[in-house]
Amino acid sequence: TRLQGDWSSDVCSSDLLLLYINDLPNGLKNLLFRVFADATNLFASACDLKSLETLINSELEKVKEWCHVNKLSINLSKTNYMIIKSSRKTSGNIEIQLQSMDGSFHLFTKKDHIKYLDESLTWKYHISYICSRVYISNIGIVSKLRHYLSIHQLKQIYYNLIYPYVS
């Protein structure tokens, strides 16, 4: 299961935020973390959906407490989850929820794909995303500039506009 959350804080620089939240994974041994500049992915696994639901909901309470102690908040409206499974298994629903500051419970939205992966571990959404980013915004620019710039300049543009998406 992948749970993605966005963190909010008073820390301005993404590097400082990474240093600030660096110890988040230390107290949570049942989750695997992928920490980015302003978002964190949490991964958990279990033998069945009910165990997974119980595990994630209990671990999310610990994450929420860690955020509270460190004066951070979880942007509940941008937090969602995805169940990654074999294509041979049927999909089921679980309820991932977290109590918000006002005491109400927020139910997270289940996604069937994210920017770079879908629940059956195929890359079709990622490939589509990369193609749209490269083709729509950048290929046209390079195509128009090819008449006015040298090969060296066009390569520089390629490495600035297209290569980051391909790599």
The closest of 61, 42, 53 to 96, measured between CA atoms, is 53
Share of the chain above pLDDT 70, in %: 77
Q: Which of the four pLDDT bands, split at 50, 70 and 90, describes residue 151?
A: very high
143-161 burial: b if 16+ Cβ within 10 Å, else e = eeeeeeeeeeeeeebeeeb
Mean of all residue pLDDT scores within the chain? 78
Residue 13 has which token pair? 């620089």
pLDDT mean over 46-58: 90
Partners of 99 in beta bridges: 105
Supply angle C-alpha 127, 112, 122, rounded to 5: 40
Measured distance CA(74)–CA(64) in Å, rounded: 7
Q: What is the pLDDT of residue 149?
A: 92
Q: What is the pLDDT of residue 150?
A: 93
